Structure 1
Amino acid sequence: MKDNGFDLLVIGAGMAGCTATARAATQGMSVCLVDVAADVGGSARYAGYVWTMPDHEVMAEQNPDGDPVLRRRLVDGFGPAVDWLRVLGADVGPAQRILSYGRGHRLDTNHYVDLCRKILQDFGGEILLGADTEELTMSGDAVVGAVVRTADGAAREIRAEHTLIATGGFQADPELRARCLHPSARTIALRSNPNSRGDGHRLATAAGAAFGTAGAGFYGHLIPSEISFSDADYVELALYYSEHALLFNLDNKRFTDESLADHLTTMELLEQPEARGLLIGDARVHRDWMTTAYVEGAIAPDKFALASKRGGRVGVAESLDELKYLPEEWGYDGSVIAAEIESYNASVRDGSPSVPRALDALPLDEPPYYVVETVPAVTFPFVGIRTDANARVTAESGDPIPGLLAAGSDTGGLWHRAYGGGLATALVFGLAAADTAASAGLPRDA
């Protein structure tokens, strides 16, 4: 079947795709939304805060190696994007601090993606769920739509003036994780929907898209090892408190400044032997951080109790000396780690820790000690399709590929071993994609 055509074909119905479809529909464009899943929403259904850096200075400080053009577009576009959410009728909370450097809002993402779907339907758009996009359709060097295998098994060629790739990244594909992130990433836990398996990556590659940047890393969090991890655990079992604890690798050494951010430590742990480490906090860390909310208004479970209940490798040492009783099969030397903690405590007191702790330079000297073995879990990669500030996909030459757009976690270049909000990125560049399609003379007569 060959369609007469749409103004905008959106491949992927997560935060970026839903945003673009709602924006485009309200601007009078004809829109077709396609997703492999049985429902819209993707990983956005697991999130709850839309936030980023408050200004260009903080963005440059926190994300110095990110593309400066994309950084500026995100910061400049965030306020208008939040205004658009409110005009649309989304459930958006007041401004609040997020982490030590961000500002944003609580957002009912389930309500939002359902609202986007309703808007698209009300404006006469089409939604194809359970549908695989097999290939992009090319006319010369321009993308003019795609071939989609619908839920009933039929092949359908959909023509479109613009096609937006918004499939959510490649984090659900072990081989792409190993190739683009790190060899150890092949087997790490997935903290994301299972459908973001690199479809956008493959489609864009065939169209000649540029990708970047190597070594940029990924967004994720530490979780307890040796547990069965599911979507219900994405927040509850994330060990955000690692920023206030000490993390030791299998060589019984600290290897990074844990205090900078749990998501940064997660990237560093992936590159350590066997991609696992021992996270240790004292009674202060347990009282002040393990059992408190990471973001104001979020849930506040006891992370240690949950890890213990779920069968993780955990333990409580009444003194540093008791760390020598760590199970041998774990592979750590508790006596060496105890000595490392004592050395760390002494160095903090004289102001010269061998591995600095910029944001929490306090000793761990209040027993008991809470021990959790931890491993990385990936949410989405920072390596992806290169775009300009208007969400146009670029070739290796830097020139836009006509008719092809990308937004959200399929894209790369914005973040480089730094993070300032996945929902905000999808929101701002999803809007940019729709506006780019509109500015190209759309809507048009079918």
Structure 2
Amino acid sequence: MNTDQNQTNRDADVIVVGGGNAAFTAAHAAATRGRSVILLERGSEDMAGGNSFYTAGATRIVHDGLNDLKSLVEEDPRHATTVVPPYSADEYRSDLEKVTEGKNDPELTEVLIEEITPTLLWLKSLGLKYRLMYERQAYERSDGSHLFWGGLHVGNVGGGEGMIEDHTRVARENGVDVRYSHRAQELLTDKSGKVTGVRVETPEGELELHAESVVMAAGGFEANPEWRKEYLGEGWENAKVRGTPYNQGDMIAAALKIGAAKGGDFSTCHSVQWDALCENNESNRELTNRLTRQSYFLGVLVNRDGERFLDEGADFRNYTYAKYGKEILRQPGSIAYQVFDSQIRPMLRTEEYDMPGISVETADTIGELADKLGINREGFTTTVEAFNSSIDRSRDFDPTIKDGRSADVTPPKSNWAVPLEEGPFYAFPVTCGITFTFGGVKTDTHGRVLNEQGKWIEGLFAAGEMLGGLFSENYPGGTGLAAGCVFGRRAGCLA
């Protein structure tokens, strides 16, 4: 929408659209440099926080081990007997390139790697709180010590809920005007094409807000079933929405309407194994991330035919979990079953596998378990027998490393193969839970939104899931929040 609004009458210096981690980080960066900021959250206050609210708060950073992290994380008596392997910039880069199959933008990648650790230290200085994620990223060893694994070690105190609480408090302390139930739907521009504000729907009606800069951090389009079907393909309209129901692609559409170029991969997304049958298994603000089922690598995963269909132990969970949701969507009925025996059951993540209302079936035999699940009994028993007999038992089972304890079946299980032998047996029904989409708008490394000619649309920035180019096919756990922090801060420093 074209407007000739006089900039001396603007409502704020900066308008930030969105209410998650990236949006708040951009708001902090702008406010702490003296800019007046309005932050627009589509949800009401009790539905605020974007996708960030639903996360565990895990953030992947570069560090040199526990001593290096002590300046960032809260003290914990377990630190004295904890081993946190260093995670280098080279490892970070390699992990991104590996899981995205080399489709990650190299310039965005380098900025992310270089700036994530100092950005988290800056956020801590403002009042955000971080800790080591013992319950999600470490195993307790026989001597009572803890060993972290998988390159992802740090998270927000209180998870996603604690992160949003901290962000909101810090924003208000720095004078940010946080406005709830404000749905931005259109970008305002002047005759030159410069962005001058947004058109907003509120409970009181429509209004226009004007600013010198607009930072879009309103998420992707994962909550829009029509867009999912159009861009991700047939069947994706049936995926369960893990996070906020408000990420409908409004601001992506608004940016494209004024000439922004698309950025990133619109055809793939972050999707996980998600409780298939639990009541209220979409956008659940009470259970949030507990509806994920992320101990799958310790067991086997079968479909309704009783057949395995992927390598559960191909790599650490942090590098496979975000791509396996789509594999389940392709199975009959878009459902699968994680199966464990009584040996492994105590190792499953308590917060997820002991949650209230969990979907689970138990039985003393594999055949009885198949009957309870309503899956092919003969196919399931044959699968389990072949799996058990093919395991390389000469290797020790060790979940803190890729132990090479494999099962020589098709598909193989490359690591952590434990026979299903000791009843009772447990089966957890899972479906595809979609987290966020990888396609957004094209930006430079400062979050400035570019048009099809590669030129900046003056006054317009993007961060978070709206910034396309970092991820494709898959992503390393904890890089979404990391990118939101880095590029939110970058955008806010220029807006």
Distance 2:266 2:200 in 1: 31
Distance 1:400 1:363, change over 3 A: farther
Tell me, which stretches of 5 or more residues in structure 1 are unaligned?
293-299, 438-446
Would you say 1:239 and 2:296 are equivalent positions? no
**1:419 positional shift:** 3.1
How far does residue 145 in structure 1 lie from its aligned partner after superposition?
1.8
1:426 paired with 2:434, answer: no
Q: 1:195 aligns with which of 241, 246, 251?
A: 246
Task: Note the 1:316-335 alignment, pairs <5 A.
Answer: 316-326=362-372, 330=374, 332-335=375-378
Instruction: Provide closer, same or farther for how the CA distance between residues 228 and 125 of structure 1 changes in structure 2, counting only shifts above 3 A.
Output: closer
- 2:338 aligned partner: 279
Of the structure 1 ranges 101-110 and 355-364, higher mean CA displacement relative to structure 2 is found in 101-110
Does residue 86 (structure 1) correspond to residue 120 (structure 2)? The answer is no
Change in CA separation of 1:195 and 1:420 when aligned onto 2, cut-off 3 Å:
same
Task: Check if 1:58 corresponds to 2:95.
Answer: yes
Question: Deviation digits for residues 141-195 of structure 1, max 9, x if unmatched?
Answer: 4322222234321422x23232111112222222122222232221222211222
Task: Quote the offset at 1:90 in angstroms.
Answer: 1.6
Matches of 1:351 and 1:301, distance apart in 2? 28
Q: How does 1:65-144 map to 2 (within 5 A)?
A: 65-94=103-132, 100-108=150-158, 109-110=160-161, 112-139=163-190, 140-144=192-196
Q: Please list the CA deviations of residues 31-82 of structure 1 after superposition, one character each: whole Å capped at 9, or x if unmatched.
A: 2211211225223233343412642233333444322222222221111111
From the superposition, tell whether residues 99 and 180 of structure 1 become closer, same or farther in structure 2 (CA, over 3 Å): farther
Query: Once the 2 structures are TM-superposed, how far is the Cα of residue 364 of structure 1 from its aligned partner?
Result: 2.5
Q: What secondary structure is seen at the aligned counterpart in 2 of 1:382?
A: strand
Q: Match for 1:339 among 382, 401, 405?
A: 382
Residue of structure 1 in register with 2:328 after alignment: 269
Instruction: Kindly state the Cα deviation for residue 361 of structure 1 after the two structures are TM-superposed.
Output: 2.9
TM-aligned CA deviation for residue 201 of structure 1: 1.9
Paired amino acid for 1:205? L
How far 1:434 moved relative to its partner? 0.8
- Report deviation, 1:273: 3.0
Which residue matches 1:369? 425
Q: What is the rounded CA distance, in whole Å, between the counterparts of 2:111 and 2:56 in structure 1?
A: 22
CA contact (8 A) 2:28 2:170 kept: yes
Q: Following TM superposition, by how much is the alpha carbon of 1:127 offset from its aligned partner in structure 2, in angstroms? A: 3.0
Residue identity matched to 1:187: N
Q: For the Cα contact (< 8 Å) 2:132–2:153, is it kept in 1?
A: no
Please say which of residues 244-253 and 77-86 is displaced more in the overlay.
244-253
Q: Alignment partner of 1:413: what SS?
A: coil
Matched letter for residue 486 of structure 2: V
- Check whether the contact 2:266–2:438 (CA below 8 A) recurs between aligned residues: no
Q: From the superposition, tell whether residues 128 and 355 of structure 1 become closer, same or farther in structure 2 (CA, over 3 Å).
A: same
Q: Which whole-Å CA distance do the structure 2 matches of 1:7 and 1:219 have between them? A: 37
The answer on whether the counterparts of 1:37 and 1:130 sit within 8 Å (CA) in structure 2 is yes
CA contact (8 A) 1:257 1:265 kept: no
**Which whole-Å deviations, capped at 9, do the CAs of 1:227-286 have from their partners, x for residues lacking one?**
332222223332111122211223432221223433332122123333211221122221
- Answering whether residue 443 of structure 2 is matched by residue 381 of structure 1, we say no
Contact 2:196 2:214 in 1 (8 A): yes
User: How far, CA to CA, are the matches of 2:451 and 2:339 in structure 1?
Assistant: 46
CA 1:176–1:234 in structure 2 vs 1: closer, same or farther (change >3 Å)?
same
The SS at the match of 2:415 is coil
2:279 aligned counterpart, secondary structure: coil
Map 1:191-270; keep pairs closer than 5 Å. Answer: 191-209=242-260, 210-225=262-277, 227-229=279-281, 230-259=284-313, 260=315, 261=317, 262-270=321-329
Match of 1:9 among 6, 10, 15: 15
**In percent, how many aligned pairs have the same letter?**
26
Structure 1 340/118 Cα, relative in aligned 2: closer, same or farther at 3 Å? closer
- Secondary structure, in 3 states, of the residue corresponding to 2:343? helix
Q: Is the 8 A contact 1:132 1:149 kept in 2?
A: yes
Task: Provide the rounded CA distance (Å) in 2 between the counterparts of 1:133 and 1:31.
Answer: 15
Between the aligned partners of 1:423 and 1:102, the Cα distance in structure 2 is: 12
What is the identity, as a one-letter code, of the residue corresponding to 2:97? Answer: A
Q: Contact between 2:222 and 2:437, CA under 8 Å: does it hold in 1?
A: yes
2:96 maps to 1:45: no
Supply the distance in 2 between the matched residues of 1:123 and 1:173 (Cα, whole angstroms). 34
Specify which of 142, 152, 155 is matched with residue 204 of structure 2. Answer: 152
The 1:35–1:48 alpha-carbon spacing in structure 2 relative to 1, beyond 3 Å, is same
Q: In 2, are the aligned partners of 1:7 and 1:30 still within 8 Å (CA)?
A: yes
1:175–1:186 contact (8 Å) kept in structure 2: yes
**Cα distance in structure 2, aligned partners of 1:111 and 1:278:** 32
Deviation per CA, 1:308-365: give whole Å up to 9, x if none.
Answer: x45x3x32232234345245xx4x2121111012112222238522212233233323
The structural deviation recorded for 1:411 is 2.7
TM-score by length of 2: 0.77
Equivalence map 1:393-408=2 (5 Å): 393-408=449-464
Aligned length: 420
After superposition, the Cα gap between the structure-2 partners of 1:362 and 1:227, relative to the gap in structure 1 and judged at 3 Å, is same
The residue type paired with residue 281 of structure 1 is F
CA distance in 2, matches of 1:226, 1:83: 38
Residues 144 and 159 in structure 1, CA contact (< 8 A), matched pair in contact too = yes
Partner of 1:165: 216
CA 396–272 in structure 1, closer or farther in 2 if over 3 Å, else same: farther
Deviation at 1:17, TM superposition (A): 0.8
Report Cα offsets for 1:176-225 as digits up to 9, x if no partner.
22222232221222211222222222212212221331433224342233
Q: How many Å separate the matches in 2 of 1:351 and 1:122? A: 55
Q: 1: distance between equivalents of 2:184 and 2:172? A: 21
User: Cα gap change, 1:253/1:164 in structure 2, threshold over 3 Å: closer, same or farther?
Assistant: same
Q: Is the contact between residue 269 and residue 434 of structure 2 (CA under 8 Å) also seen in structure 1?
A: no
- Secondary structure of the residue that 1:374 maps to in structure 2? strand
One-letter identity of the residue aligned with 1:250:
R
Cα distance in structure 2, aligned partners of 1:333 and 1:154:
56
